[in-house]
């Protein structure tokens, strides 16, 4: 190999990262070869208490959305425990790059890899710093330009004080279905249903306004959407609360319709088509392309912003502005659901994360508002990162596959932290097309570790890909070093897959499982099989000592029942989650292959 320009890690730190220089794969490989020669420090597995009340929020967390995003401070705790200064951390399923954020906070070198161009875009922006002031200035300039040009689209007359220059804060859009009996259009949020929806009623079956037949909205043909109300922002009378609610006037409706028929003069991703299973849910609503996930008016504004952002010459600031754009994108989409509790609260708008679900009643935001909010969050986030990041550590971010880490030499990594996809839980590649359409960089799904009928990948294929990537971990990790695996999906079947995959990849020595939860449950009945409120971190040691075996239990049900009984004797007040956690951990400890079981059922038979 060509002689490295940098001879020591300290050198590269000074020469490379202080100036935010991007390293090439070759340079990275050279550095890691040097790292193989560094002795790994003797470390113990983390036997501390489980983590509790670790919230998924905060300025840094809120800078950009991602699916099953981790809290970087949890990871930082582990990175701190398992590594020493100058060590290299690897996350090859990096998603939004929270392992990178953690490593930069602790001051360790880190390599981030993901298959998804969106994930790389987010990770890169999270781990490279930019001066927040010029970022803010340039954003403000763009914002004002677009505002001047397009704010007319959101003008409305204040229904309280008569101000002609009030603004639409959001527009409530309702689905319109074809009645299966008379085929006439029926507005889901018609006057009568709208008032019950506002009291929190859930309405799935509706009565046709024309022929009075009843039908379920699931079975009805979707025709279109129509605006039913607006929320007004008036800087004259400062209208607030329920007073913001305005029925559309004739002028409001005309303006809305006029924009629907306009041609957008800015480029937007017209040709990128959705693929994958998650986008399929919207085919019945006529959606085949990511750009169709926005109302026409919002798409127009988005295209204008995107055009201006891409014309910025300063590359670092341009990237951060793109980060702002992708960070706000879902908040201005048709996915933002109206909810009676947050009826008139601007920041109360929500989307169903990890899906592309479009609700029947949408709170279609005036995009200028979420953009402004996001710019403030990112501005504050950048300031915070500037304070927290240790500058003399390397962060290498690169698109790639966890199954093929060719550029990483054997035994060169000091700690690995992985949070891979779990089965068919989330369609990352399908959902991320929302961003990739704009970024003009579409994921290649060939190596995507996922169970996906669309890609012809079965659960068995998924397991084999997981094994392949765990074997890569085993290869690149130094002896006696640790591999932490996040497990955020607690169905027994998936536990079993992870058990088999890790044993297959020779991680069968020392390990520990901790539970990270954000809420403590009290009722035994609380059945949360999908573990929304908690997840597990399994940490393996790469070692040839004390190798365990994994075996099938002759009578798994009997084994489970006996263990529940024992556990309840010593922990009579245990919650459902506690029992579940105990059981899976016990199976791992005993080297028992986890088989399918229904804890709720077993508990009923035991009459607890």
Ligand X SMILES: C[S@@+](CC[C@H](N)C(=O)[O-])C[C@H]1O[C@@H](n2cnc3c(N)ncnc32)[C@H](O)[C@@H]1O
Provide the binding-site residues for Zn ion, judged by CB under 5 A: 158, 160-161, 163, 179, 181-182, 208, 210-211, 213, 234, 236-237
Q: Which does 428 bind (CB under 5 to 8 A by kind): Zn ion, ligand X, none?
A: ligand X
**In the complex, minimum distance from the CB of residue 212 to Zn ion, in angstroms, rounded to a whole number:** 7
- State the CB neighbour count (10 A cutoff) for residue 86: 18
**In the complex, minimum distance from the CB of residue 505 to Zn ion, in angstroms, rounded to a whole number:** 59
Looking up tokens 């006037």, which residue turns up? 249
183-242 residues near ligand X, rule: CB under 6 A = none
In terms of Cα–Cα distance, which of 449, 452, 389, 442 is closest to 103? 389
Radius of gyration (Cα) for the chain, nearest Å?
A: 26
| Residue placing its CB nearer to Zn ion in the complex, 166 or 378 | 166
| Residue placing its CB nearer to ligand X in the complex, 70 or 366 | 70
| Residue placing its CB nearer to ligand X in the complex, 449 or 505 | 449
Q: Which does 66 bind (CB under 5 to 8 A by kind): ligand X, Zn ion, none?
A: ligand X
| Residue placing its CB nearer to ligand X in the complex, 98 or 335 | 98
**In the structure encoding, which two tokens stand for residue 35, read together?**
């790292």
Contact status, residue 511 vs residue 588, Cβ threshold 8 Å: yes
Contact status, residue 417 vs residue 91, Cβ threshold 8 Å: yes
**In the complex, minimum distance from the CB of residue 360 to ligand X, in angstroms, rounded to a whole number:** 29
| Residue placing its CB nearer to ligand X in the complex, 12 or 115 | 115
How far apart, in whole angstroms, are the C-alpha atoms of residue 435 and residue 327? 9
CA dihedral 357, 359, 364, 367 (to 10 degrees): -10
| Residue placing its CB nearer to Zn ion in the complex, 208 or 293 | 208
Question: What binding mask, one character per residue, do residues 87-126 give for ligand X by CB under 6 A, x or -?
Answer: -----xx-xx-x--------------xxxx--x-------
506-535 residues near ligand X, rule: CB under 6 A = none
Q: Which does 160 bind (CB under 5 to 8 A by kind): Zn ion, ligand X, none?
A: Zn ion
| Residue placing its CB nearer to ligand X in the complex, 365 or 431 | 431
How far apart, in whole angstroms, are the C-alpha atoms of residue 115 and residue 441? 11
Q: Tell whether residue 135 is a contact of ligand X (CB under 6 A).
A: no
3-state secondary structure of 447: helix
Q: Which long-range contacts (CB under 8 A, 24 or more apart) does 218-224 make?
A: 219/180, 220/177, 220/178, 220/179, 220/180, 220/186, 221/177, 221/178, 221/180, 221/284, 222/175, 222/176, 222/177, 222/178, 222/284, 222/285, 222/286, 223/176, 223/177, 223/178, 223/185, 224/176, 224/185
Contact status, residue 46 vs residue 536, Cβ threshold 8 Å: no
Residue nearest to ligand X (CB): 95
- State the CB neighbour count (10 A cutoff) for residue 304: 21
| Residue placing its CB nearer to ligand X in the complex, 364 or 448 | 448
How far apart, in whole angstroms, are the C-alpha atoms of residue 273 and residue 290? 7
| Residue placing its CB nearer to ligand X in the complex, 397 or 583 | 397
156-185 residues near ligand X, rule: CB under 6 A = none
3-state secondary structure of 54: coil
CA dihedral 373, 378, 384, 390 (to 10 degrees): 170
Q: Which does 163 bind (CB under 5 to 8 A by kind): ligand X, Zn ion, none?
A: Zn ion
**In the complex, minimum distance from the CB of residue 249 to Zn ion, in angstroms, rounded to a whole number:** 14
Residue of the chain from 13, 35, 40, 70 that contacts ligand X (CB under 6 A): 70
**In the complex, minimum distance from the CB of residue 292 to ligand X, in angstroms, rounded to a whole number:** 23
Q: Which does 420 bind (CB under 5 to 8 A by kind): ligand X, Zn ion, none?
A: ligand X
| Residue placing its CB nearer to Zn ion in the complex, 49 or 219 | 219
Looking up tokens 């028929």, which residue turns up? 261
Applying CB under 6 A, the site for ligand X has a residue count of 24
Q: What is the DSSP letter of 446?
A: G
Q: Is the dihedral of CA 145, 146, 151, 153 positive or negative?
A: positive
Residue of the chain from 177, 294, 428, 511 that contacts ligand X (CB under 6 A): 428
Residue of the chain from 13, 35, 40, 68 that contacts ligand X (CB under 6 A): 68
In terms of Cα–Cα distance, which of 502, 497, 496, 467 is closest to 484? 502
**In the complex, minimum distance from the CB of residue 211 to Zn ion, in angstroms, rounded to a whole number:** 3
Contact status, residue 174 vs residue 285, Cβ threshold 8 Å: no
Length of the chain: 608
**In the complex, minimum distance from the CB of residue 85 to ligand X, in angstroms, rounded to a whole number:** 24
Q: Which does 115 bind (CB under 5 to 8 A by kind): ligand X, Zn ion, none?
A: ligand X
Q: Which does 234 bind (CB under 5 to 8 A by kind): Zn ion, ligand X, none?
A: Zn ion
**In the structure encoding, which two tokens stand for residue 382, read together?**
């950048």
| Residue placing its CB nearer to ligand X in the complex, 114 or 414 | 114
Q: Which does 181 bind (CB under 5 to 8 A by kind): Zn ion, ligand X, none?
A: Zn ion
Residues that bind ligand X (CB under 6 A): 66, 68-70, 92-93, 95-96, 98, 113-116, 119, 401-403, 419-421, 428, 447-449
């Amino acid at each position: 190999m060509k002689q490295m320009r940098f001879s020591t890690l300290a050198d590269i730190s000074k020469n490379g990262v202080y100036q935010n220089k991007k390293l090439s794969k070759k340079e990275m490989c050279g550095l890691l070869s040097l790292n193989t020669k560094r002795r790994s420090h003797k470390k113990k597995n983390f036997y501390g208490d489980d983590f509790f009340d670790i919230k998924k929020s905060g300025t840094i967390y809120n800078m950009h959305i991602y699916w099953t995003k981790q809290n970087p401070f949890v990871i930082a705790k582990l990175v701190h425990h398992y590594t020493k200064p100058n060590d290299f951390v690897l996350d090859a399923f990096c998603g939004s790059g929270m392992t990178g954020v953690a490593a930069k906070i602790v001051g360790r070198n880190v390599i981030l890899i993901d298959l998804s161009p969106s994930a790389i875009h987010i990770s890169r922006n999270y781990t490279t710093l930019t001066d927040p002031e010029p970022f803010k200035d340039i954003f403000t300039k763009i914002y004002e330009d677009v505002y001047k040009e397009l704010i007319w689209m959101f003008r409305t007359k204040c229904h309280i004080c008569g101000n002609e220059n009030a603004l639409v804060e959001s527009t409530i859009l309702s689905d319109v279905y074809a009645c299966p009996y008379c085929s006439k259009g029926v507005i889901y949020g018609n006057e009568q249903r709208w008032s019950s929806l506002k009291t929190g009623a859930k309405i799935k079956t509706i009565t046709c306004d024309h022929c009075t037949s009843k039908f379920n909205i699931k079975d009805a043909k979707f025709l279109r959407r129509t605006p039913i109300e607006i929320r007004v922002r008036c800087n004259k009378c400062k209208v607030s609360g329920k007073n913001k609610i305005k029925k559309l006037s004739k002028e409001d409706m005309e303006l809305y319709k006029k924009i629907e028929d306009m041609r957008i003069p800015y480029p937007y991703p017209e040709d990128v088509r959705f693929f994958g299973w998650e986008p399929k849910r919207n085919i019945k609503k006529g959606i085949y392309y990511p750009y169709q996930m926005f109302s026409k008016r919002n798409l127009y504004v988005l295209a204008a912003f995107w055009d201006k952002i891409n014309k910025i010459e300063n590359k670092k600031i341009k990237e951060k502005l793109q980060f702002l754009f992708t960070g706000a994108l879902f908040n201005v989409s048709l996915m933002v659901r109206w909810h009676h509790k947050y009826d008139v609260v601007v920041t109360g708008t929500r989307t169903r994360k990890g899906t592309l679900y479009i609700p029947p009643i949408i709170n279609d935001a005036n995009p200028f508002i979420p953009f402004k909010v996001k710019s403030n969050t990112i501005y504050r986030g950048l300031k915070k990162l500037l304070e927290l990041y240790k500058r003399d550590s390397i962060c290498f971010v690169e698109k790639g596959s966890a199954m093929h880490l060719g550029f990483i030499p054997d035994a060169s990594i000091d700690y690995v932290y992985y949070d891979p996809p779990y089965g068919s839980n989330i369609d990352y590649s399908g959902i991320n097309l929302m961003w990739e359409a704009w970024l003009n960089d579409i994921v290649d799904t060939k190596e995507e570790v996922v169970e996906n009928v669309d890609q012809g990948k079965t659960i068995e294929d998924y397991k084999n890909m997981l094994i392949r990537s765990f074997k890569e971990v085993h290869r690149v990790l130094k002896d006696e070093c640790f591999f932490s695996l996040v497990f955020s999906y607690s169905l027994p079947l998936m536990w079993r897959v992870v058990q088999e995959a890790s044993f297959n990849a020779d991680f069968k020595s020392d390990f520990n499982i901790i539970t990270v939860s954000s809420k403590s449950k009290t009722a035994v009945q609380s059945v949360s099989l999908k573990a929304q409120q908690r997840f597990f971190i399994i940490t393996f040691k790469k070692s040839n000592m004390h190798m365990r075996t994994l075996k099938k239990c002759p009578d798994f049900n009997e084994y489970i029942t006996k263990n529940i009984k024992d556990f309840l004797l010593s922990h009579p007040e245990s919650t459902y989650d506690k029992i579940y956690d105990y059981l899976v951990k016990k199976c791992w400890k005993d080297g028992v292959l986890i088989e399918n079981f229904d804890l709720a059922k077993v508990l009923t038979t035991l009459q607890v």
